[in-house]
Amino acid sequence: MAKKRPQTKAKRPQPAGGAGAAGADGAIPVVGGREPCPCGSGRRYKACHGRAAAHAVTELVQRPFEGLPGECDWVALRELVPAATVELTLKNGLPEGVPSVTLATVLPMAWPALRRDDGSVLIGLQNDTASGDISRDLADTLQRALEAEPGTPVQGRRAPADGPRLQELLEADAPFEPVVHSGFEFWVPDAENATAEVTASLERANAAAIPTVRLSGVDAAYWCETPEKNHLRWVMPHAEERLLDALARLHAQGRSSLGEGTRLVGSFRAHGLTVPVWDLPSEVSAEDVEKPAAEFAERLAAALAVEEPLTAEERRARGGLTNRQVTLS
């Protein structure tokens, strides 16, 4: 599920500004690329402040979900989980005529969002985005979905560089509780009246979905089943370097597994967080790994608290783990 992402590293986009700005607050208004720049430089906008504005739109925000409740689960649903939904809570409450807002991993025909006939809103998380800030793109999609006519999908577009982010629209203290589904039937509340296009899209999606279960005893850990072996993919909130040190300590001690026949094989890096991955025998179910995962969480907490430098053996273990790290975003 890896996707191509803009690779420019930068801070979050900020409105262009300067001493000669036209606005009272120093902000440069957006105008046509061939028009004179409002800052008074005499150059065209696209060759002056328009260049910085265009760059801001493509800047990559390393942790787009930072500050949202359930950041680790946001990352998992964006990159790892085929079919899941979460009820979202808006800061200012639901607008009139909108009974609910639901985040979904994927929507039919890869729509960015859908306003259902009953007025409820579904937002797709796994779509390609036009800028380097997924949070801003999703916030723009959400706002447009809330205003869309019932029964219509919302198409993708590039969000304004000065538009709000999800962190400004969603209630920070609300619970974020993903519900993982075995298929995409949540797309169609009334399957008998679904169009042939939606039905075909549903069948294709169900056929491609990997069976996935969210563990209940630890946060943001997802068991999945594949033909040859099963896996546990666990999104963790700890700083990457400190987490890799802790994993290396446990690995060198022979305490990084989740039980007989299991093995810590490496990690993903996704949206600023690290996702350790374990291989599991095909007979090991999600229920089987609940207790070992909880026990591992205790060992990891102890390892994270160690301040001493890594030993030579631990450094070798760390090198092996980092050599098998894959960046998804």
Q: What is the pLDDT of residue 25?
A: 44
List, for residues 221-259, the tens digit of each pLDDT value. 999 999 889 999 999 999 999 999 999 999 999 999 999
- Torsion on CA atoms 37, 41, 43, 44, rounded to nearest 10: 0
Q: What is the pLDDT of residue 42?
A: 82
List, for residues 122-170, the tens digit of each pLDDT value. 999 999 888 899 999 999 999 999 999 999 999 998 898 889 999 999 9
188 or 92: which leads in pLDDT: 92
Nearest partner of 267 among 302, 315, 234, 221, judged by Cα? 234
Mean pLDDT is lowest, of 51-65, 72-86, 260-274, 309-323, for 51-65
Using CA atoms, how far residue 169 sits from 94, 136, 247, in Å, is 11, 10, 36
Q: What is the pLDDT of residue 52?
A: 58
Q: What is the pLDDT of residue 51?
A: 64
pLDDT above 70: residue 172: yes
Share of the chain above pLDDT 70, in %: 86
Which residues, 6 or more positions from 298, have their beta carbon under 8 angstroms from its beta carbon?
none
Q: What is the pLDDT of residue 58?
A: 58
What does the DSSP assignment read for 219-231?
TTEEEEE-SS-EE
List, for residues 43-76, the tens digit of each pLDDT value. 887 677 766 555 555 578 999 999 999 999 999 9
Q: What is the mean pLDDT of residues 189-198?
A: 76
| Type and span of the H or E element at 203 | helix 196-208
Collapsing DSSP to helix, strand or coil, 268 comes out as strand
Question: What is the reported pTM?
Answer: 0.81
Mean pLDDT is lowest, of 54-63, 170-179, 268-277, for 54-63
List, for residues 73-124, the tens digit of each pLDDT value. 999 999 999 999 999 999 999 999 999 999 999 998 889 999 999 999 999 9
